[in-house]
Amino acid sequence: MRKKRSTMVDPGGSPKDFGSLDALRQAIGTPSRRWTPIAMLGFPAAVDELLGWLRDPRVFDKANHPAAVESAIGDFAHSAEHELGGKVYKALEPEVRRVRAALVHVKADYAEKSSKEVAAAAVEALRRKTEQPPVL
C-alpha cells in the first residue's frame, strides 16, 4: 500500500509537500506563518480556547507557548469581530472591551500570572454574559 503524503498550504495559497524535510523545517522555523487554510472558530469555541490558555497551570514555556497564546488571542479577536451579529455584539461590547484591555497586559508578558488571572476573570464574566437572556 502506498503511503499518502500530506500537504500544507502556505500563506500565498500554494500547497507545500509536507513529506519534504525542507518544508517541515520551514514550517517549524516560522511559527507565526500560517500553513493551513484559515479555519474560523465560532465565538463560544474561541472564548473556551482563550480561557483554557489563561487558566493553564503549566509552567510557561517561552519557546513554545507564545505562538499558541497569540493564536488563541487572535481567534478570540476575530470571532468577536466577525462571528457576532450586531445586536449580540452590542449586548456583549462592554465585556469584550474589558477582555481586550486585559489581553494587552497578557501579551506584554505571557508568564505574568496576575495579568492572566485578570484576563481570565474578564473572559469568565464575558462567558456568563453570553448565557443571559438579552444575549440568548
With a pLDDT cut of 70, the percent of the chain lying above it is 76
pLDDT in tens, 78-96: 999 988 988 999 999 999 9
**Would you state the pLDDT for residue 37?**
59
| pLDDT exceeds cutoff 70 at 66 | yes
Paired residues of 129 in beta bridges? none
CA distances from 11 to 38, 64, 79, 114, 127 (A): 10, 21, 20, 35, 32
Mean pLDDT is highest, among 68-82, 99-113, 115-129, for 115-129
Give how far Cα 132 sits from Cα of 20, 56, 84, 96, Å: 50, 26, 15, 15
Q: Taking the domains of the chain in order of start, what are their residue ranges?
A: 1-38, 43-130
Predicted pLDDT at 29: 76
List pLDDT tens digits, range 11-59.
555 555 555 677 777 777 776 776 655 667 789 999 999 999 999 888 8
What is the value of pTM for the model shown? Answer: 0.70
pLDDT for residue 61: 75
More confident residue, 64 or 67: 67
Degrees (nearest 5) of the Cα angle 97, 110, 8?
A: 90
pLDDT band, residue 6 (cuts 50/70/90): very low
Question: What is the per-residue pLDDT for 22?
Answer: 74
The Cα 50–Cα 95 span in angstroms is 14
